[in-house]
Amino acid sequence: MAEASEASRDRRRAFNSAERVALFLAADGRCTACRQELDPGWHGDHMQPWSAGGPTEVTNGQALCPECNLKKGQGSMADVFGLREWQQEARERYHGRDGGTGGSFLVVATPGAGKTTFALTIARDLIDQGVIDKIVVIVPTAHLRRQWSGAASRNGVQLDHRFVNANGVIGRDFDGAVVTYQTVTSEPQLWRKLCSVRRTLVIFDEIHHAGEGDDQRWGLALKSAFDVATRRLLLSGTPFRTDGTPIPFVEYEDKRAVPGYNYDYGMALADGGVVRPAVFPAMDGEAKWRRAGRMPVTTVALADTDEKTVPPALKAALDPNGEWIPSVLQEADAALTQARIDTPDAGGLVVAFDQNAARAYASILERITGERPAIAVSDEPDSSKIIEKFKDDDSRWIVAVQMVAEGVDIPRLAVGVYATRVRTQMFFIQVVGRFVRMRGEEDETTARLFIPSIQPLLSYAQAIEKTVDAVLADEEKRVREIQEGDGNDPDEPPSLLAAFETVGSSAAVHHTTIASGESITPEEMTYAKTVMSRAGSAPRGMSTEYVALILRTAGVTSAVPTQRPAPAEAPPLADQKYEVKKLLKRKVGRYSIATDKPHQFIHGEMNRHFGDNSKTATLDSLLKRIELLDRWLKEV
C-alpha cells in the first residue's frame, strides 16, 4: 500500500474512477479471465502485484470478477500472506456476505490462528475493489499498536501506531492508524469525522473489550464513532464478556454472539499445524489463613477447596513469602529446562495477580536460575520494549500481570505459571492462548501451563478443546447464576480478601496433570517416564502425557503387570478416529521432514490414492493411510 518512496513506487493502491472505466472498456465489460459479464463490485486487479512493486496504472491493470480475483489471490496473495485453509474459507465467506450485517463481520479465531493476517488480507481486498480508502485498527493495549503496525508494514500496509488525537488527521503517506480503545472513547466525535470523510474499514481487535452496559461507556462511544464506517471487521478469541453485557456491532441470537466465521482452538488442534497441544500440571498443597486478627488458623488443601475457601486459600498459595509458589516456580523452571533441550530459546511466562507479586516472583526466579527475568507491568514506562526484547532474545522468563494476557505474540513461550486470582473462563483461555502459537510445521512443542489445583480452573483445563459454542453456553450459565444472586462470583473484590490474613502455605505437590481433557495421575506420569527411559530416546514431540494416555488405553499400569487386564470397552468411534488422526498427522510430519515435501502435497497424494480426504475418511481408510505412510517412510 503506502509507498516505500515516491520515486520508486506509486503510493496509490486502488485504481481511481477514470482508470476503472478504462479497464472496464478495455475488457469489453467482461472478466479478463473467465469472460463472464462483469457485475457491479468487479475488481480492478494489478497484473504485476502491487506488493511486488507493480504500479497503479491502466497498463498494469485488468478487470476481473471477484471469484477470479480471489482464485488468483490463492496463488499470489496466499504466497504473500501464507493463508491457511480457514483464512481462505473465512475470506470467501466475508466477500460472499458482503461484509456482514450492516457492514459488520465477526471472526472468532483462537490465538495463534492468524487473525491479524486474515484482517490485513481483507483490508487489501477491499482496497483492490475500491470499497475503502483508509484502515483504522482498534486494539486493547498500547503494546499491540506496534505489533499490528509491524505486521501490516511487512505486508505493504503502513499504519501509524504513534497517532494521537491531537494530530486531528491521519498522515497522507499512511494507509491508516492503530489506536487503543481508550484513545477512541476519549474523543469519539473526532473518529466519527475521520470515518465520514474517507471510506474506512475499522478493525476491532479483541472486540469483547467494548461492552455497552450501563457502566460501560466505551460501547456507546465506539458506536458513535464508527457507525458511519464503510466496513467493520470484528476479531475475538473469546466473543463474550464476563459481565454479560452486549458488545457493539456484534449480531446476537438468543443473547449469544453469532460469528460470521468461527475457528476455535479445538478445531485448530484437530486440523494440525496451527496450534500446539497444551497440558496442565495441577499443583496441590496446603494453604493456611485466619480471619484478620482472629484464631484459629484454617488449613485446607487446594484440591479440597470450595466456593467459600478458594479465595483465602489461593491468596495464601500465591503469597511469595510462603512455600507453595516458590516450589511451583522451581517445577516450572525444570520443565522449561527440559523444553530447551529441543528448543534452546524456549521461554516461560508467569502471570501474576499484581505488580508487587510480579516483582517478588521475579526475585524468586532469579534465585532459582541465576538470571534476572524480564518484568512487564504497566508501571514500567518501557514495558512494550521489554516484551519486544524478550520476544526476540533467548532469556528464560518473563513475569507480567495482564500485559501479555492476550494479543501479544511471543511464539517461543512454552511453559507458564498461572499465578493470578482471576478465575473467569475468558481470562483463562486468553492466557492459554499465549502458549499455543506454533512456530512452523516442524514445531512439536507441547505447551505446559502450571495451575493451582482448584475449581473452576481444573474444569477450564479439561474443557480447553471444547468449541466456542460450548464455552459460550458455560459462560452464559455462570453469568446467569451470578445475576440470580448465588454469590458464586469467582473474582472477589479486594475488600473481601482483606478480611483474610495469610499464615502460610506448604510446598506444592502434583495433584493431577490434564491433557486432552483427561486427568492423569502422578503415578501414571511416573510410570510413563519410566517406560520412555527404558525405551531410549522418545520421538521428538512425544510428551510424557501422550505416553501416559497410550499406556492407559492399552491397560498397562505397571512395569510388570501381575495379570493381563480385562479388555477395555472400546472407546467411541469419534475418539478412535481422533487418536488415529493425531498419529497420522505425526507420520505426515516425519515424512515431510524426510522428503522435504509439504504436508498439503502429502495429504493430496493420499487423497488421490484413496479417493477421499481425512475429514470424510472412515476409520479403516485412516488406518490404511497410516500403513501407506509406513511403507513410504521405509522407502526413504
Q: What angle do CA 248, 180, 133 make, to 5 degrees?
A: 80
Domains of the chain and any CATH numbers: 1-80 (3.40.1800.10), 82-263 (3.40.50.10810), 276-515 (3.40.50.300), 521-568 (no CATH), 574-636 (no CATH)
pLDDT at 489 over 60: no
pLDDT for residue 521: 87
Average pLDDT over residues 230-235: 94
Helix (H) or strand (E) holding 335: helix 324-342
pLDDT for residue 467: 54
What is the rounded distance in angstroms from the CA atom of residue 401 to the CA atom of residue 357? 9
pLDDT at 411 over 90: no
Place of cell 474523543: 187
pLDDT band at 176 (very low <50, low <70, confident <90, very high): very high
The x, y and z cell numbers of residue 552, run together, are 492407559
Mean pLDDT: which of 295-299, 301-305, 469-473 is highest? 301-305
The DSSP letter of residue 136 is: E
The DSSP letter of residue 544 is: H
Mean pLDDT: which of 88-97, 253-262, 349-358, 479-488 is highest? 349-358
pLDDT, tens digit, for every residue of 62-89? 988 876 776 664 443 334 445 888 898 8
pLDDT, tens digit, for every residue of 366-388? 999 999 999 988 766 677 788 88
pLDDT higher at 82 or 159: 159
Share of the chain above pLDDT 90, in %: 31
What pTM was computed for the model? Answer: 0.63
Average pLDDT over residues 321-329: 96
pLDDT for residue 294: 65
pLDDT for residue 211: 62
What is the rounded distance in angstroms from the CA atom of residue 135 to the CA atom of residue 124? 10
Where would I find the H helices in 490-571? 494-497, 522-534, 544-554
Residue pair 96/69 in contact by the 8 Å Cβ criterion: no
What is the rounded distance in angstroms from the CA atom of residue 409 to the CA atom of residue 397? 15
pLDDT for residue 188: 94
pLDDT for residue 566: 42
pLDDT band at 321 (very low <50, low <70, confident <90, very high): very high
pLDDT band at 22 (very low <50, low <70, confident <90, very high): confident
What is the rounded distance in angstroms from the CA atom of residue 173 to the CA atom of residue 176? 9
pLDDT for residue 483: 44
Average pLDDT over residues 27-32: 84
Give Cβ neighbours of residue 370 (< 8 Å, ≥ 6 apart): none
pLDDT at 568 over 50: no
pLDDT for residue 486: 38
pLDDT for residue 561: 40
pLDDT higher at 91 or 562: 91
pLDDT at 525 over 50: yes
Residue pair 257/264 in contact by the 8 Å Cβ criterion: no
pLDDT higher at 412 or 14: 412
pLDDT at 563 over 50: no
pLDDT, tens digit, for every residue of 574-587? 767 777 787 788 78
pLDDT for residue 377: 84
Average pLDDT over residues 506-512: 91
pLDDT for residue 123: 93
Asked which of 66-80, 168-182, 331-345 is least confident by mean pLDDT, the reply is 66-80
Q: What is the mean pLDDT of the chain?
A: 80
pLDDT at 129 over 70: yes
Mean pLDDT: which of 299-313, 378-392, 418-432 is highest? 299-313
Average pLDDT over residues 30-57: 78
The x, y and z cell numbers of residue 618, run together, are 472412515
Q: Sort strands 104-109 and 134-139 into parallel, antiparallel or unpaired.
A: unpaired
What is the rounded distance in angstroms from the CA atom of residue 329 to the CA atom of residue 351? 12
pLDDT at 278 over 70: yes
> CA dist 116 to 9, 72, 182, Å?
25, 21, 20
The x, y and z cell numbers of residue 144, run together, are 499491540
**Residue 270, number of CB atoms within 10 A of its CB:** 16
pLDDT at 260 over 80: yes
What is the rounded distance in angstroms from the CA atom of residue 13 to the CA atom of residue 49? 10
Mean pLDDT: which of 75-79, 308-312, 540-544 is highest? 308-312
Asked which of 58-67, 98-107, 507-516, 518-527 is least confident by mean pLDDT, the reply is 98-107
User: For residue 266, which of 414, 405, 113, 412 has the smallest C-alpha distance?
Assistant: 113
Share of the chain above pLDDT 70, in %: 80
